[in-house]
Chain A
Amino acid sequence: MSNNKPMPVPTEISAPFWEGLKAERLLIQQCNQCSHWVFYPRRHCPGCLAHELAWREVSGGASLYSFTVTRIATMPDFADEMPQMLAVIELDQGVRINSNLVGLDESEVKVGMRLQPVFAEVDAKGTRLLRFTGMDKDPQALKSLPAAVEQPAVAAPRVRQIALDDEAALQSLVSDTFSPWSNRIVVDQGLIDAFAALSGDDYWIHTDPERARKQSPFGGTIAHGALVQILQSRMQLNLDYEITGFSNMVNYGSDRLRFPAPVPAGSTIHSRARVKRVERVKSGTQLTLELNIHVLGSERPSVINELVILYM
């Protein structure tokens, strides 16, 4: 999970709500004067303006008022939760809450459906958000931070052997279609700091989370483009071919290298590739492999690398 996501900053007024969530209890306010239920927390009652609000624990019984499924992340930092289900929840007390639905398949979501709360842990400090799920789901199973990066189940593709001198077979590799996704890795601040030390590029936008949170357009630190590019080595591409019959193979560099989208610290990334071009040159055969590295869930690549491999 990206650590640049906006997090709630409790105020003196709202603190009991957030402390309640940490204890897995849902506390909302009710007016002692007019019995009006109140969300979000306030000092006064929006029903009668009386300053007599009491915190009360409620069951969390609720129904779905409306929702949407985001096809483009509302911020790059939410790319790892895509597609995100944003929802307006109506508690049985009548108040509405902006929240998320979790643990539900899109086909199961209907306006009006009954819901129960999920006290979802969102950082290592114990901050919890109030999310919701269906009545037939297990909210306990949905409340913890994902422990490790979940790896997709990918059936290893059948690998075709292609001889370097088989021109027709080589040309048949050229395709607009990308390979299946690689394994996933997390680009955390530790990795970014290590790269900063190694490369000498310790610009604050990469290494100073405090300053980046305040001043960076990305709301937090981002990985160096060069770091993300070389992390390709840690991602196993699922290519469906293997070239045989050469004596030597060298990385000849890149025809094109672009960093179109940032990788916020804490992002999970994965990659895929396609063969863009195969050409005979004087010194051998050049295969151009277009590698794209994406933040998980993001349609826009963070790295486009047209890598030229020379077979001799």
Chain B
Amino acid sequence: MGLKGHAAIVGSAQYKPEKYATAPRMFHLEQVADLAAQALRDAGLQASDLDGLVINGPQFHEASVFVPAMAAEYLGLRLNFAEVVDLGGCTSVGMVWRAAAAIELGLCQAVLCVLPARMAPLGPDEDPSWMARAMRFGGHSTAFGAPEAEFDLPYGHMGQNTGYAMIAQRYAAQYGYDPRALAKIAVDQRTNAQYNPQAMFYGQPLTIEQVLASKKVADPLHVLEIVMPVAGGAALIIASKEVAARARKRPSYITGFGEHLAFKSPSYAADMVQTPIGPASRRAFDMAGLKPGDVDAAQIYDCYTITALLTLEDAGFCAKGEGMSFVREHDLTWRGDFPMNTHGGQLSFGQAGSAGGMSQVIEAVTQIAGEAGERQLAQCDTVYVSGTGGVMSEQGALILQGA
């Protein structure tokens, strides 16, 4: 069952994360075309090679329906496979395996996966307050009949921070809580960012004391344990073995994946601290015929430090409840014995909306291709990548391997 590992990521592109206020404003269609051209250049392929497209439906500026057709027309693509993914921060991982599956089914030979995440220019009569309105409730629906509009918002349950905070508090009650271990995740990743000039926090090292002294947002989370939203955007080119053979760099074959979701609010999870990344990762490792100990690096979705901690445990890198000692005992930097989020993670790289998760996929591909510059791992053939959407509600895992 599953992938044979005949599709590979052969090219990528990613805007340098920038503050929303100062980032260039571009239409999403324009960003899609720009990122596609950059990713094709990186892959050494032509636009005419593309015959598949995976794109975001939600938050696409110029349309809320018929997005793939509009994008295909704008870019001048002829597609045999078009798909929209709506999995929040898990969208990137979800795009990769859907593209790989379509290629292995023989539907297409090269797929563009793209997530524009810079703001679009405002129209002459456009009222910017719609954006403020959209942001007021975070990811919570306010539609009549939406359970969260009726049963969460009136109590102040909204946005992401408090959901993650409650998961952390439940974890603390069951397994104990070492704030310094959680802070160390952010600190080790910040060390990695010092070797990545593209990172938002390049040139700004961080200490555990600084994390613990930063403002609490919702107990027990400090502001420096939470990602910074930035403008950005990213694209990948995923291709068949045949196309990969003529690509410019070492391809990253997709040899395993898993996806799992069962709720939107973690309050309704069977067990809030046994996260969906568990079943998703088991499936990914089984498909690839590997164990967690076999990977050279882990690029773990890190919207919060607690997300990274629970993923380390539930994906099987350590036993349940031992994540904090695992973090204390291992050096998570690119020089260390457990290289994790070697680009800095989203905590130090910045989170460009749902394209944030692309940073983890792209770092895996960059390390496998041997193009990570100063932070290049001595050996990197096999990488685990995770994606997390909502409040650890939709999660996915990938195993990527160099040939």
Interface residues of A (CB under 8 A from B): 5-11, 14, 40, 65-75, 78, 81, 84, 86-88, 96-100, 110-112, 122, 129, 131, 215-219
With A96-B267, A215-B129 as given contacts, are A66 and B218 in contact (CB-CB < 8 Å)?
no
Q: Does B154 contact A (CB under 8 A)?
A: yes
Shortest CB-to-CB span from B132 to chain A, Å, is 3
Q: Does B322 contact A (CB under 8 A)?
A: no
Min CB distance A135 to B, Å, is 18
B66 beta carbon closer than 8 Å to chain A: no
Q: Which residues of B contact A8 (CB under 8 A)?
A: 150-151, 154
A8 to B150, CA, bound (A): 5
A212 to chain B, nearest CB (A): 11
| A98, B267: Cβ atoms closer than 8 Å | yes
Q: Which of B156, B159, B166 contacts A84 (CB 8 A)?
A: B156
Determine if A71 and B150 form an interchain contact, defined as CB atoms under 8 angstroms apart: no
Query: What's the nearest-Cβ distance from chain A to residue B262, in Å?
Result: 10
Any A CB within 8 A of the CB of B246: no
- Interface contact B154-A5, CB-CB below 8 Å: yes
Q: Which of A72, A84, A110, A122 has the most chain B CB atoms inside 10 A of its CB?
A: A72
Q: Closest CB of chain B to A157's CB: distance in Å? A: 29
Asked if B268 and A96 make an inter-chain contact with CB atoms under 8 angstroms apart, the answer reads yes
- The answer to the question of B152 belonging to the interface, with a C-beta cut-off of 8 Å to chain A, is yes
Q: Which of these, B145, B149, B151, B215, contacts A98 with CB under 8 Å?
A: B151
Chain B binding surface SS class = helix
Give chain B's interface residues, CB within 8 Å of chain A. Answer: 129, 131-133, 136-137, 142, 144-145, 147, 149-159, 161-162, 165-167, 169-170, 172-173, 215-219, 265, 267-268, 272
Q: Is the interface of A mostly helix, strand, loop or mixed?
A: loop
Q: Which of A6, A68, A97 has the most CB of B within 10 A?
A: A68
Q: Are A100 and B156 in contact (CB under 8 A)?
A: yes
> From A46, which residue of chain B is reached at the shortest CB distance?
B268
- Given contacts A217-B133, A219-B136, whether A71 and B157 have CB atoms under 8 Å apart is no
Q: Which single residue of chain A is at the shortest CB-CB distance from B266?
A: A88
Residues of A within 8 A of B144 (CB): 9, 11
Docked-complex contact A40 and B162, CB < 8 angstroms: no
Q: Among the listed B131, B166, B167, B217, which residue makes an inter-chain contact with A86, where contact means beta carbons less than 8 Å apart? A: B166
Shortest distance between the CB of B377 and any CB in chain A (Å): 37
Chain B residues, Cβ within 8 Å of A99: 155
Expressed in whole angstroms, the Cα–Cα distance for A217 and B135 within the complex equals 9
The 8 closest A-B pairs by CB, nearest first: A217-B132, A111-B173, A68-B165, A66-B170, A6-B153, A217-B129, A66-B166, A88-B267
